[in-house]
Structure formats: structure tokens, C-alpha cells
Structure 1
Amino acid sequence: MTKPGAGYGNVPPEADRGPLEPTAARLGGDADPAPAGWPRFLRRGPMEMVASILIAAGVVMLMQPFAIALYSWSFLVTLIGTVMFLVVSHFPK
């Protein structure tokens, strides 16, 4: 039986960390700052917004009942927005 306040088994509580728990150096802060030559418009925030707008525009194009041309292009626009969002989510902040 372990004492109250003791770690798991014979391991003291301060050393009782799982293998997937991040180290103290990785906690907080900006993990991946933007490179010095990285253009401001290619940062993650603005590009994710563009990708989200493309996805929303594709869905609106899919649901509108007026123009067959918009309906025809809706899947491609939604797909481009989705792929763009996946790629952009790996950009630096």
C-alpha cells in the first residue's frame, strides 16, 4: 500500500511522469516562430481565414438554386479550401 502523496509504486511524485507528457522546456511560449524571411501574408492566421472563406463559399455555391455554373464549381472550390486548410495548418504562426 502506498502512502498518501507518494507517486505510482515506488516512484516519487515529482518523477512520476508518463512517456507522453511534454518536458518543461516545451510548455508555453511560441513553439515555432515564423522564419525571418517568411512573408506576413503567408502566416497561418490569414491563410486559414482564406481557406475557411473558400470552404464556406463552396458550400453556399452548392446550396444556391440560381446558377448551374456555381453549382458545378462548388465541389472543386470546397475541395481546394479543404486541402488549403490542411496545408496551411502546418505554416508557422
Structure 2
Amino acid sequence: MTNPQEMTRATRQKRPVFLRRGPMENIATALIAAGFLMLFQPFLLVLYTYSLAMLLTGTVMFIIVSKFPE
């Protein structure tokens, strides 16, 4: 009989990267930070234009990814 902890560990290793909580939270946080920097830079109007979309994308992504199992 297999130990339940070993089964959990094996299941966790088989998950693809895009379904893991840690890396996806880091990507979402980076998107939020990039959107924030784009919002407050004074040089390019194109970056300012897409900053709100970037912030919203990162926020929604973070909310969804935070529901993933560890």
C-alpha cells in the first residue's frame, strides 16, 4: 500500500508549470508591477494606454491563481 503523502508528492510533480500556484502568482505579480510602472512613466503614450489593461489582467490572474492548490 502506498503512503498518501507519497501519492500527493507524485501528483504535485506531474502538474504542468501553468497549473502550479507559485510560478503563476509570480507572473501575475510581475504583470501588476509592469502595469503600475507603465501607468506612471511620462515618456510613451502607448505604454500609458495599455497600463490599465495590464493591471486588470494581472489582478484577475492573481485572483484566479490564488485558488489553485499548493
Which residue in 1 is equivalent to 2:54? 77
**Greater gyration radius:** 1
Which portions of structure 1, spanning 4 or more consecutive aligned residues, are displaced by more than 2 angstroms? 33-38
Do the aligned partners of 1:55 and 1:78 also contact (CA within 8 Å) in 2? yes
Task: Please state which structure has a larger fraction of its residues in helix.
Answer: 2
TM-fit CA distance, 1:40: 3.4
Secondary structure of 2:53's match? Answer: helix
Q: How many residues align?
A: 62
Q: TM-score, normalised by structure 1?
A: 0.60
Percent identity for Structure 1 against Structure 2: 54
Structure 1: unaligned runs, 5 residues or longer: 1-32
By relative contact order (CA 8 Å, sep 6+), the higher-ranking structure is 2
- Which deviations, in whole Å up to 9, do the C-alpha atoms of 1:40-64 show, x marking residues without a partner? 3421110000000000000000000
Q: Distance in 2 between matches of 1:45 and 1:59?
A: 21
